[in-house]
Structure 1
């Protein structure tokens, strides 16, 4: 009996800023953003969308009434925690109406945490054939206005139902993790924005990928020829491409190089229009691959997960026959295509309101066409959520 991803969905706020216009406002050559880091648009989070509401919005369309009875664990992976004690999974569990006898926890290791959450879910379900685990990756990537990291911001969430006999991706028992203590990106308690060593961060990412891939290939006697496609953690689309290119050496045949390069472009299409969503970036890339690329049953997909600080992991999954039937491709396209572009000036206003927890429902919700959860207010440090029908 196999375990894997039975359902997968994502949510992004309905506002975005055009990267070319942001570049112009920052007096930067637009190609530095469009080509240099490979980003076209960047999701912008209003104050009314935090990790709880985004996570619940990503999950609500894939959690059925039967699922609510079978889910025995909810795990939220995030590095945008809103509380140092209470897990956001508890609040999402409540919003979704999941049965009360379920474990709810939050996990942290920079952008990596969704991957150990999935591995934990897989191991947990091994002896529980009638149960399911809901894994959610939800984050708002923020570096500060006019900072070096500003063009690699974003916001969004990915929800995954992990179960037996999955309809999308069967997870293989082959994960290899690599840990190295490095200060490439970190956010001390109380700091509103992370501290980043940009050059070191890129080097640490590629080093982690090479180490985990090489050990994976050694342990399991695998080569790149064994994979239909590879997915990467994508803080920006050129980052994963640099990692991929680092192993497409001269001894790799041209067909494999072409296949993996084409697959990478498909796997980063959605990310190009969303930006960095930290823990969810790898899994948004997986959705993009599944929905924009030609795959056949039993194709093996390699996945590289990375979290600064740092932990990397390479693992794989096998595409399930009929996987397209479990995807809502049109809904995902509509979600991206029906967003509202805001000016750089408005984006800056949104950014400051988010930092100061200033709510403006008239602006943020007036043109919302979807039924969504949203953060309505904060009173005495208690967050109050509501539903827009």
Structure 2
């Protein structure tokens, strides 16, 4: 049975910061952001957007009435959860009006959560071929103002419908995965900002990639020449390139050129959104699919997923006939074009505007947020969500 990505959607907030201006405000050479880490713009989440609304907005653009009936499993991958008990998936399920006879869970392992969700979805579809699974990778990356990690923040979500006989990509076997208990990045439950050992995390990312790539080659018999492109989890766009360069000497010059060219295309969206944790790998995949004009049916795309702490996985998928017809290229182009740049002063004010943590009720002005699904406030310790299209 062929199982894979039938639909894929994306959402990012309507405001962003220019990275050159952020660098200047922090007395940093702009090239360190635009070239050194490879970022041009950084999405900023207003107080009316959280991991639930980002995920719901991403899914809203791709699902139809048939999906609403057939989706019987919602998997919410995030490290920006809003509740220690109730899953974000339950909120999204209600906001989208999905079939009530469905499972809805939240999955957490740093930036790896959505990949774990996809693998669970494959197992579910294998047992229930007529059903569909909605997998969400949704996050707001926060390190704090004037911190070393500030330039690798971002906000957004990717939503994928996983099904049998998918229209976009068949996910192949085998998969290779690796776990090791390390402290390269973490966020304790008492903190709304992450902690990171940047140099150590970069080293571990590359080490994990090298280990799973070697194991994948041995298990699958595939090599670099068999990959049209490799997409990476991208905390910043230069990170995947560092990993790719460690294995390029395995390939001929023409294969190297192809992989490097396709890698750059796969980073276009991430470069202008920033780090979205669980969704970053799949935003890179979407960037490749929507911006590379000569991809063809049968092309194999390798994917490296990494979640600090740490879990890594390498797997691959093959593109399906006429896959371009099932992408929302114009919609995503419009999403980017409609965004508004905010000044550094505005960004800092938005960043410091947070929800109360003492049980105080709050009503938010949702008219300033053009998104279809928004957070309208908190009442009696319960988040209040609005789907404007209902």
> What TM-score results when the alignment is normalised by the length of structure 1?
0.97
CA contact (8 A) 1:80 1:139 kept: yes
Q: 1:256-282 CA distances to partner (integer Å, 9 max, x unpaired)?
A: 100000010010100000000000000
Distance 1:277 1:359, change over 3 A: farther
| 1:52 match: secondary structure | helix
**Which residue pairs with 2:70 in the alignment?**
70
Return the alpha-carbon distance in structure 2 between the equivalents of residues 203 and 53 of structure 1.
33
Greater Cα shift, 326-335 or 189-198: 189-198
Q: Does 1:287 align with 2:286?
A: yes
In 2, the alpha carbon distance for the partners of 1:91 and 1:15 equals 24
1:351 and 2:363 matched: no
What CA deviation, in whole Å up to 9, does each residue of 1:177-197 have, x standing for no partner? 011111100111212211110
Deviation at 1:388, TM superposition (A): 3.2
Which residue does 1:270 correspond to in 2?
Answer: 269
User: CA contact under 8 A between 1:48 and 1:359: conserved in structure 2?
Assistant: no
Q: Does 1:208 align with 2:208?
A: yes
SS at match of 1:378: strand
- Give unmatched runs, 5+ long, in structure 2: none
Aligned to 2:254: 255
Shift of 1:361: 5.0
Matches within 5 A, 1:260-339: 260-293=259-292, 294-339=294-339
How far is 1:354 from its partner? Answer: 3.1
Q: Name which of structure 1's ranges 156-165 and 60-69 shifts more when overlaid on structure 2.
A: 60-69
Residue aligned with 2:118, SS? helix
Distance 1:10 1:359 in 2: 28
Q: Give the aligned partner of residue 81 of structure 1.
A: 81
SS at match of 1:94: helix
Q: CA contact under 8 A between 1:229 and 1:302: conserved in structure 2?
A: yes
Q: Which moved more, 1:348-357 or 1:89-98?
A: 348-357
Matched-pair contact (CA < 8 Å) for 1:47–1:359: no
Aligned to 1:112: 112
Question: Greater shift after overlay, 353-362 or 4-13?
Answer: 353-362
Q: How far apart, in 2, do the equivalents of 1:302 and 1:367 lie? A: 36
Matches within 5 A, 1:43-192: 43-192=43-192
Rounded Cα–Cα distance in structure 1 between residues aligned with 2:329 and 2:12: 15
CA distance in 2, matches of 1:360, 1:286: 37
- The CA distance in 1 between the partners of 2:310 and 2:66, in whole Å, is 38
Provide the C-alpha distance between the structure 2 equivalents of 1:383 and 1:16, rounded to a whole number of angstroms. 25
What is the alpha-carbon distance in structure 2 between the residues aligned to residue 140 and residue 184 of structure 1? 19
Which 4+ stretches in 1 moved above 6 angstroms?
Answer: 357-360
Q: Distance in 1 between matches of 2:146 and 2:367?
A: 27
Distance 1:72 1:108 in 2: 20
Q: Superposition RMSD on alpha carbons, in Å? A: 1.4
Rounded Cα–Cα distance in structure 1 between residues aligned with 2:126 and 2:314: 21
CA distance in structure 2 between the aligned counterparts of 1:361 and 1:346, rounded to whole angstroms: 17
Deviation at 1:290, TM superposition (A): 0.2
Do the aligned partners of 2:266 and 2:288 also contact (CA within 8 Å) in 1? yes
Alpha-carbon shift at residue 366 of structure 1 (Å): 3.2
Aligned counterpart, 2:224: 224
Give the CA deviation at 1:301. 0.3
Change in CA separation of 1:84 and 1:367 when aligned onto 2, cut-off 3 Å: closer
> Which consecutive residues of structure 1, in runs of 5 or more, have no partner in the other structure?
none
Report the alpha carbon displacement of residue 62 of structure 1 after superposing the two structures with TM: 1.1
CA deviations on 1:52-94 (whole Å, 9 max, x unpaired) are 1111000012111111111110000000010000000000000
Q: Which residue of 2 aligns with 1:37?
A: 37
Q: Specify the SS of the correspondent of 1:156.
A: strand
Partner of 2:368: 366
Q: What's the offset of the Cα at 1:222?
A: 1.5
